[in-house]
Structure 1
Amino acid sequence: MERVLLADDERMGLESTYAAVSRMPDLDTEFEPDSSFYAYLRDRLGLALGDVDERIETVLATPREALLIGTPPALPMLLIHRVSRDAAGVPLERVRTLYRGDRFSFTTHLAR
């Protein structure tokens, strides 16, 4: 599933989600693309989100990505790769999210 991410009607990113059809056989007909994928997993399928691994890197937008997001080609982007698992540790999704580098920053808080 691929979605253009919007904020106040402005294109901010591009998200590609890959999920196992065996776990979500009716995803293409039941899921509304403008809604929350995690709410769909929880409310419609009874799947609880467990842990998530993410990797963040910088990349340049490809011509196709720039066209979909509405930016100049080769604009620096923030790319997040994510693998989410259910409470039993079974993978639910693999996600590739590309954010405009000129509109996003990430802040983290670490505690011991």
Structure 2
Amino acid sequence: MSSPVYIQIHNKIKKEIEANRWAIGERIPAERALAVQFGVSRMTLRQAIQTLVEEGILERKVGSGTYVARKKVQEKMSGVTSFTALTKAQGKKPSSKTVSYLVTTPSLSESEHLELAEGQKVLRMERIRYADEVPICFEVATVPYDLIKDYERKQVTRSLYQTLEQNGLAIGRAEQTVSAMLASERIADYLHLKRGAAILRLHQLTKLGDGRPFEYVRTQYAGERFEFYLEK
């Protein structure tokens, strides 16, 4: 099973960034030029670029272009962020709508974060998460397919953490980073926001109790409906 074309382009651009073709803070070529270079449509190229933006590898500047992202100052947060548990703790009813549910070849970023062996497949889920039926965030979660292949789809989409714990797997530590960005047209539509509205972007890599990374999540929260609370 080959990767979607936009993931293949994502991987090529990421490798070129890692090879220092463009320096940190440097603007990359326009989408039209890159689409010609890679021999794909502008729509496919734009999807690859947007994925890199959502991963924090590239950043868009309105009216200027797309740049190799600068490293952000990081603040450690404690605890594992489970949307289901977090929403219930606030006295609200969690729910979700699955946008896509695909067993596929991982992107280079997914493979690196999850420490996958060559040839391993992943499950990539895109979901809109709700609290009391109000859209709060759009989430892309990637897990090794071998880990969840014996579970029913609803066991994975409703609450993966709960399913794993019920089957004897302990949830361990999580690495989290939070940054700000502007909502793309697609995300604004999903979250009922205006295009360009403020978004809080969370990247989370969660590990099992034995230290194995099992979930790589990229989540975009509606800034006006969600806030992070840090406790030291």
For these two proteins, the number of residue pairs brought into alignment is: 108
Query: Match of 2:147, SS?
Result: coil
Structure 2 counterpart of 1:36, one-letter code: S
Q: How does 1:86-97 map to 2 (within 5 A)?
A: 86-97=208-219
Name which of 22, 26, 43 aligns with 2:146: 22
The sequence identity of aligned pairs, in percent, is 29
**Deviating 4+ runs (over 4 angstroms):** none
User: For structure 2, which runs of at least 5 residues remain unmatched after alignment?
Assistant: 1-124
Inter-partner Cα distance in structure 2 for 1:49 and 1:72? 36
Inter-partner Cα distance in structure 2 for 1:8 and 1:50? 28
**Is 1:68 aligned to residue 186 of structure 2?**
no
Which residue of structure 1 aligns with residue 127 of structure 2?
Answer: 3
Inter-partner Cα distance in structure 1 for 2:187 and 2:196? 9
- Answer whether contact 2:148 2:156 (CA < 8 A) is retained: no
Q: Deviations over 1:18-57 (max 9, x none)?
A: 0000121135635253x2221011113x221111000000
Structure 2 counterpart of 1:22, one-letter code: D
Structure with greater Cα Rg: 2
Instruction: Report the TM-score, using the length of structure 2 for normalisation.
Output: 0.44
Q: How does 1:29-108 map to 2 (within 5 A)?
A: 29=153, 31=155, 33=157, 35-44=158-167, 46-108=168-230
Inter-partner Cα distance in structure 1 for 2:163 and 2:171? 11
Higher strand share: 1
Query: Match of 2:169, SS?
Result: coil
Q: How far did residue 83 of structure 1 move?
A: 0.2
Instruction: Report the TM-score, using the length of structure 1 for normalisation.
Output: 0.87
Inter-partner Cα distance in structure 2 for 1:72 and 1:7? 19
CA RMSD of aligned residues (A): 1.5
